[in-house]
Amino acid sequence: MLWLALAAGCGPSVPKIGKLAPADVIVAFGDSLTFGTGASEAESYPIVLGQLVARKVVRAGVPGEVTEGGLARLQDVIDEHKPKLMIVCLGGNDMLRKVDEAQTQSNLRAIIKTIQSQGIAVVLMGVPKPALVTSPPPFFEAIAKEFGIPYEGKIVTDVLYQRDQKSDAIHPNAKGYRRMAEALAALLRKAGAV
């Protein structure tokens, strides 16, 4: 039994987040992956995540949005919803539109700094680069480490490699969004948020 306990402690450690109260709001902030393109609103990952963690999760996703657009609307979203935690999932459209990678990184850093400066916890999700065989660019994980925030960098890629979990080449279906929600719920538990 001891080896089970030891094995459970292995693997990369997850930066801790303060425990969320039952009434605390989580904002899922991003593009079409957050909006839930390819499934109904009720099947989008933010709505499913809310059910899994028994918290209100606001679906603040704008299809087609690049990081620059996310940065421009960020403060309005914070002011409207007053979240204790934000999940940031942006960058895919930057890559599709061939935005300079340095600009994408700069925008993501500015988004995270803005959120943290207001005492709000942040989780970052990495999205894969459009390609036949792909994974998120390394800068996602590097930025998460730089800010000491929890990072989920595998689930979107994993889902998009499963034909039965996507609605088109770049969007999950209901099954895929459920897997994203489950991965994020597990990450939030590891981080101590729920």
Q: Provide the CATH number for the domain around residue 182.
A: 3.40.50.1110
Q: What is the mean pLDDT of the chain?
A: 93
Residue 5 placed within a domain: no
CB 35 within 8 A of CB 63: yes
Residue 6 placed within a domain: no
Residue 73 placed within a domain: yes
Cα 92 from Cα 127, distance rounded (Å) = 6
Residue 125: helix, strand or coil by DSSP? strand
User: Edge-to-edge strands of the sheet including 25-30?
Assistant: 56-61, 25-30, 85-89, 121-125, 151-152
Residue 36 placed within a domain: yes
Give, to the nearest 10 degrees, the angle between helix 174-190 and helix 45-53.
40
Q: Give the pLDDT confidence of 128-170 residue by residue, as tens digits.
A: 998 777 899 999 999 999 999 999 999 999 999 999 999 998 9
Cα 49 from Cα 90, distance rounded (Å) = 18
Q: Which of 69, 93, 86 is nearest to 28 (CA)?
A: 86
Residues of the chain with pLDDT > 90, as a percent, come to: 89
Residue 15 placed within a domain: no
Residue 9 placed within a domain: no
Beta-carbon contacts of residue 75 (< 8 Å; ≥ 6 apart): 114
CB 173 within 8 A of CB 167: yes
E strands, 74-168, are: 85-89, 121-125, 151-152
Lowest mean pLDDT among 4-18, 19-33, 149-163, 173-187: 4-18
Lowest mean pLDDT among 23-32, 85-94, 128-137: 128-137
Is 50 exceeded by the pLDDT of residue 4?
no
Containing domain of residue 27, as a range? 21-190
Residue 13 placed within a domain: no
Element (H, E) at 33: helix 32-35
The reported pTM is 0.93
Q: Give the pLDDT confidence of 33-85 residue by residue, as tens digits.
A: 999 999 999 999 999 999 999 999 999 999 999 999 999 999 999 999 999 99
For 123-127, what is the mean pLDDT? 97
CB 62 within 8 A of CB 73: yes
| Six token digits for residue 96 | 């599709």
Residue 12 placed within a domain: no
CB 125 within 8 A of CB 152: yes
Is 50 exceeded by the pLDDT of residue 120?
yes
How many structural domains comprise the chain? 1
